[in-house]
């Protein structure tokens, strides 16, 4: 019932992605990097998803749309970093994923490619030797994944992470702060330590976005600050992500730190 309700601060498109989309599927909010939404499908549908407005559309970008994306990036040489996301970037087939990777790597101004996926968490059997070997050909490629709780680090998930890292694909993790799920410094400390043991760097801790119907997941901003304060100086800096608020309307990620 709560997820059918809309709070006064809720927004359909909280990050202003649709208004920063020069060609279908390509979000250009930051000067030197873009987000490519290759699909609106996922291996699972997270209840706190920031793209709730589109993830049930089950649409995949066509090759014509992909060519339009390549053409835009060839014209905009200031873009050096492409993030392939969705939906879930690893929910498309290997062939189309390789078409994306090869096309981006062929653009001289593109230095870094990132793949954003929750598949290592929720569908780790998707990760196999064929997939990671193919991705490795287009290095440097980073895998941005999304563990929210230590319970998600199953044996299968750990094997999937190891396969990426063993093939020279660095992994970074982005955690969403969720009320009464992981909004506890002990839970998150365990998560971040376990991620590091599996060679996954805790990268961001996100304040839960203003998407419609997820107010009950959001914590006060102060809670995130307290969690970072409990980590800084009490554990390795490697285990401390940056706590950020993705500003509504496309304002970008705003770091929030303890005094």
Q: Which of 114, 161, 206, 209 is catalytic?
A: 209
Active site residue 253: yes
Q: Residue 202 and residue 199: Cα distance in Å, rounded?
A: 10
Active site residue 61: no
Q: Which of 178, 177, 181, 190 is nearest to 235 (CA)?
A: 190
Per-residue b/e over 4-21, b at no fewer than 16 CB within 10 Å? eeeeeebbebbbbbeebb
Active site residue 100: no
Active site residue 29: yes
Token pair for 167: 């093939």
* Collapsed DSSP state (helix, strand, coil) of residue 198: coil
Active site residue 46: yes
Q: Which of 13, 51, 118, 123 is catalytic?
A: 51
DSSP β-ladder status, 112-116 and 141-145? parallel
Q: Which of 13, 49, 52, 138 is catalytic?
A: 49
Active site residue 80: no
Q: Residue 151 and residue 168: Cα distance in Å, rounded?
A: 26
Q: Which of 80, 126, 136, 253 is catalytic?
A: 253
- From start to end of 31-182, where are the E strands? 33-37, 81-85, 112-116, 141-145, 171-177
Q: Which of 46, 123, 161, 208 is catalytic?
A: 46
The residues near 215 (Cβ < 8 Å, ≥ 6 apart) are: 2, 5, 7, 9, 10
Q: Which of 10, 13, 42, 130 is catalytic?
A: 42
Active site residue 151: no
Q: Residue 51 and residue 14: Cα distance in Å, rounded?
A: 8
Q: Which of 33, 52, 61, 218 is catalytic?
A: 33
CA–CA distances in Å: residue 193 to residues 15, 173, 202, 220: 30, 12, 9, 24
Active site residue 218: no
Active site residue 95: no
Q: Residue 176 and residue 191: Cα distance in Å, rounded?
A: 12
Active site residue 208: no
Residues serving a catalytic function are: 29-30, 33, 42, 46, 49, 51, 209, 246, 253
């Amino acid at each position: 019932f709560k997820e059918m309700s809309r709070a006064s601060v809720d927004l359909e498109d909280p990050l202003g992605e649709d208004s920063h989309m020069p060609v279908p599927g390509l979000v250009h909010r930051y000067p030197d990097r873009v987000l490519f939404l290759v699909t609106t499908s996922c291996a699972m549908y997270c209840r706190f998803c920031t793209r709730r407005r589109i993830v049930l559309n089950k649409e995949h970008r066509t090759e014509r749309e992909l060519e339009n994306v390549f053409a835009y990036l060839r014209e905009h040489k200031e873009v050096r970093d492409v993030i392939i996301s969705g939906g879930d970037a690893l929910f498309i087939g290997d062939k189309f994923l390789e078409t994306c990777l090869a096309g981006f790597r062929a653009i001289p101004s593109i230095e870094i490619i990132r793949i954003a996926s929750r598949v290592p968490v929720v569908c780790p059997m998707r990760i196999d030797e064929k997939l990671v070997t193919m991705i490795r050909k287009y290095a440097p490629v980073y895998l941005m994944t999304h563990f929210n709780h230590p319970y998600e680090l199953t044996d299968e998930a750990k094997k999937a992470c190891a396969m990426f890292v063993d093939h020279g694909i660095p992994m970074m993790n982005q955690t969403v702060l969720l009320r009464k799920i992981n909004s506890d410094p002990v839970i998150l400390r365990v998560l971040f330590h376990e991620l590091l043991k599996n060679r996954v760097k805790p990268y961001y801790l996100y304040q839960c976005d203003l998407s419609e119907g997820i107010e009950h997941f959001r914590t006060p901003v102060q809670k995130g600050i307290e969690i970072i304060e409990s980590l800084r100086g009490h554990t390795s800096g490697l285990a401390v992500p940056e706590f950020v608020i993705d500003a509504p309307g496309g304002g970008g990620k705003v770091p929030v730190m303890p005094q």
